[in-house]
Amino acid sequence: MNRASRRLFERGERVPDLKQERRVRQMGFNVIAGVDEAGRGPLAGPVVAGAVILPEFIGKGSGLWRIRDSKKLSSSEREELFEIIMQESVAVGAGEADSQEIDRLNIFQATLLAMERAVMSLSVQPDFCLVDGIRRIDSVPSQAIKKGDLICLSISAASIIAKVIRDRKMKEFEKIYPGYGFAENKGYATAEHRRALLELGPCPIHRLSFEPVRLCADRFVCIPNKEVSEKRVERWK
């Protein structure tokens, strides 16, 4: 345990470690990926999954020991750790399911699809995956770990990859679909976002299968502004 982790441990805070990865290696698996997602709850945008294979041995001074569940980190901390993970990991992958896939499949199945895509995108294919949550993925032998992002270092790393990539995408969507505050709310149902939905109606990245969006969908449709200079809104006929 490094110094930063020891301080958290002494305060009674759970810190992620490599115990789960070591346990799986004792079962005979060698290449182990952690998998997690970001963006199941928002009203707009994709659900994004990250997959990370960490080194079997991590030196005491490595920045990887600073990894925590992405929800416990500030935006600047996530961005910094994102770069460390990209540099020091064996392999990093990401996958997504867009809002149309979410509407067609449901958010649960779309999340699994994003996770499968993240694993398949890894430059080194794992022979076992540790997955945050309660459902395993099917393409590789795997185990679901409840609150795995709090205790498993590779899952925590994957949570950071997924969160940073998704946040960056939502900032880009703000330029294409202005008026909803995507750069700030990342598609979540803030009061400002809900007001914008009532005023402007849903845009093409909103999830029509989510009730707050569906209630507005019979009134408006937002046409993307290709020049990113103004909003154009048209009522459905």
State pLDDT tens for residues 31-52.
999 999 999 999 999 999 999 9
| Residue that is written with structure tokens 């679909």 in the block | 177
- If one counts every other C-beta atom within 10 angstroms of the C-beta of residue 233, the result is 14
Nearest residue to 131 (alpha-carbon basis) of 21, 5, 1, 15: 21
Say whether pLDDT at 6 is over 70: no
CATH 3.30.420.10 residue ranges for the chain: 3-168
Q: According to CATH, what is the number of the domain 3-168?
A: 3.30.420.10
Instruction: State if pTM tops 0.85.
Output: yes
Q: Structure tokens of 152?
A: 């498993």
- Looking at every residue in the chain, the average pLDDT score rounds to 90
Assigned token pair, 47: 């659900």
State the pLDDT at residue 216.
Answer: 86
230 pLDDT exceeds 50? Answer: no
When pLDDT is cut at 50, 70 and 90, the band that residue 232 belongs to is very low
Task: Check whether 197 has a pLDDT greater than 90.
Answer: yes
pLDDT tens per residue across span 54-113: 999 999 999 999 999 999 999 999 999 999 999 999 999 999 999 999 999 999 999 999
Neighbours of 114 (CB within 10 A): 28
Rounded-to-integer distance, Cα 37 and Cα 185, Å: 17
- pLDDT band, residue 177 (cuts 50/70/90): very high
> Residue 114's beta-bridge partner residues?
none
Q: Is the dihedral of CA 102, 105, 107, 113 positive or negative?
A: negative
CA distances from 136 to 35, 41, 72, 86, 185 (A): 10, 20, 24, 25, 29
Q: Which of 58, 82, 51 is nearest to 167 (CA)?
A: 82
Rounded CA-CA distance 178/197 in Å is: 12
